[in-house]
Amino acid sequence: MKKPNEPLRSASQRALAAVVTPEFAQAAAALWEAKSTLPEPLHAVQNFVFAIERPAGPAILRLTHESHRSPDQVEAELRWILDLAERGLAVAKPYRSNNDAWLETVASSNGQFIATCFERLANIEPSSDDPASWDEQLLKNLGSTIAKLHRASREAAWDPAALLRPSWRQESVVRNFHSLVPASEAAIHRAYDRVLAELDSLPRSPDSYGLIHADLNDSNFFLTGEGANVFDFDDSCYGWFAFDLIVPIFHFPTADQATMDAAAQRALRWLVRGYERVSRFNRTWFEWLPLFLKWRDLITYGFFYEQLEIAALPDTLRQTFLGMRARIEADQPIANLGPAG
């Protein structure tokens, strides 16, 4: 079900995609009383995501293969989303199925898929092509939204015993990095080990470390007049709160690399100011941000090998991939964030 202009998935992902036919998605959608029209596939990686119509209105169907997440991990994700909603945060809430379940398992010829259904938010999507649209108001509001997520995480005092989400170190790309990336890329492997060792040395106090979204790029939130509606908590994990602020910076749209440093410094300043409307941003965290940017490069690089066919990358993605390789080999983050604090 590859859509036009989508990159070719890796062989393992293509095998899963072959199973997720329109009829397969339609049968899963019927578990949430979806209308009989075929679900509309939406751009996604790792999961298979569709727009569907329910009697109550538009919704999102997500199919997650058991090789990516276990039912317990998906259930924990949904529990966190529901807790956030109860605390007043604007998130895409899940719907119960016809069987009064938050999730359903659907058998296929290639293992089980975990089906979930979410409300479809109707708001303004941030532009991934227009750097000027990422202005002070947008970034301050996004910073405040991130701080609210973190405050809710601290208040709930989640830990792996209470909520079975992985830690940042347990994600598949992290666990399998050395087998995903060809051994011939020795400099990449050395950089990975070096950055991983630095991350392992960072403090993990309740003030700085807890349950985070971990993937707040421009595809995972919609804009509102007061902040952002957040969705796609599939990557949520236990990690450093400050990591959530570097993700939108890493994916910040820029006209060219020459403007990236100034744009990133400005974006960070506004994100932090928005964050501090809600919670204190620990000054020590500034020292960690360049390391987190390097880590984002590394896990995204490994993700490309895990999810995509590298030899068939479209030109734009190939340039992105080669840019990551050059930065990793040079031990440089995507942007210079300026003096700490």
Residues 139 and 99 in one domain: no
Work out the average pLDDT over 197-203: 98
Look-up: residue for tokens 């991934």? 128
> What pLDDT was estimated at residue 341?
56
Q: What tokens does 69 get?
A: 């997440």
> What CATH number is given to the structural domain containing 19?
3.30.200.20
Q: Which of 87, 119, 151 is the last residue of a domain?
A: 119
| 340 within some domain | no
Residues 146 and 266 in one domain: yes
Q: Which of 119, 139, 165 is the last residue of a domain?
A: 119
| Cβ-contact 233, 213 below 8 angstroms | yes
Per DSSP, helices labelled H in the chain are 11-19, 22-29, 71-86, 136-156, 172-180, 186-200, 243-250, 260-275, 285-307, 315-330
> What pLDDT was estimated at residue 218?
87
| 314 within some domain | yes
> What pLDDT was estimated at residue 288?
98
Higher pLDDT, 222 or 3: 222
| 186 within some domain | yes
Residues 98 and 160 in one domain: no
Q: Kindly state the percentage of the chain with pLDDT values over 90.
A: 82
- pTM of the complete model beyond 0.75: yes
| 102 within some domain | yes
Residues 211 and 96 in one domain: no
Residues 162 and 245 in one domain: yes
Which range among 42-51, 93-102, 179-188, 288-297 shows the weakest confidence by mean pLDDT?
42-51
Q: Which of 88, 119, 150 is the last residue of a domain?
A: 119
- Note every long-range contact of 260-264, with CB atoms under 8 Å and residues 24 or more positions apart, other chains counting: 260/334, 260/335, 261/335, 261/336, 261/338, 263/131, 263/134, 263/335, 264/334, 264/335, 264/336, 264/337
Residue type, 323: G
Domain that holds residue 185: 131-330
| 126 within some domain | no
Mean of all residue pLDDT scores within the chain: 93
Reported as a single tens digit per residue, the pLDDT across 1-40 is: 444 456 788 899 999 999 999 999 999 999 999 988 899 9
> What pLDDT was estimated at residue 286?
97
Residues 190 and 316 in one domain: yes
Q: What tokens does 183 get?
A: 């051994």
Q: Which bin fits 55, alpha (ψ -120 to 50), beta or left (φ > 0)?
A: alpha
Work out the average pLDDT over 157-176: 96
Higher pLDDT, 146 or 132: 146
Work out the average pLDDT over 177-201: 98
Work out the average pLDDT over 264-291: 96
Domain count across the chain = 2
Reported as a single tens digit per residue, the pLDDT across 229-276 is: 999 999 999 999 999 999 999 988 775 767 889 899 999 999 999 999
Backbone angles phi, psi at 244, to 5 degrees: -60, -25
Residues 35 and 74 in one domain: yes
> What pLDDT was estimated at residue 133?
81
Write the CB contacts of 272 (distance below 8 Å, at least 6 apart in sequence). Answer: 143, 245, 281
> What pLDDT was estimated at residue 322?
96
Residues 297 and 250 in one domain: yes
In our burial notation (b when 16+ CB lie closer than 10 A, e otherwise), range 187-209 reads ebbebbeebeeebeebeeeeebb
Residues 142 and 99 in one domain: no
| Cβ-contact 248, 271 below 8 angstroms | yes
Residues 323 and 190 in one domain: yes
Residues 100 and 174 in one domain: no
Which range among 39-53, 75-89, 162-176, 246-260 shows the weakest confidence by mean pLDDT?
246-260
Q: Is the dihedral of CA 34, 40, 45, 48 positive or negative?
A: positive
Structure letter (DSSP) for residue 307? H
Which range among 11-15, 181-185, 287-291 shows the weakest confidence by mean pLDDT?
11-15
- Is the pLDDT score of 210 beyond 50? yes
C-alpha dihedral, 44 to 47 to 48 to 54, nearest 10°? -100
Structure letter (DSSP) for residue 293? H
- The H or E element spanning position 131 is none
Reported as a single tens digit per residue, the pLDDT across 35-72 is: 888 999 998 888 999 999 999 899 999 999 999 999 99
259 by DSSP, 3-state: which?
helix
> What pLDDT was estimated at residue 1?
40
Residues 109 and 253 in one domain: no
> What CATH number is given to the structural domain containing 169?
3.90.1200.10
Q: What tokens does 26 get?
A: 């339609």
Q: Kindly state the percentage of the chain with pLDDT values over 70.
A: 96
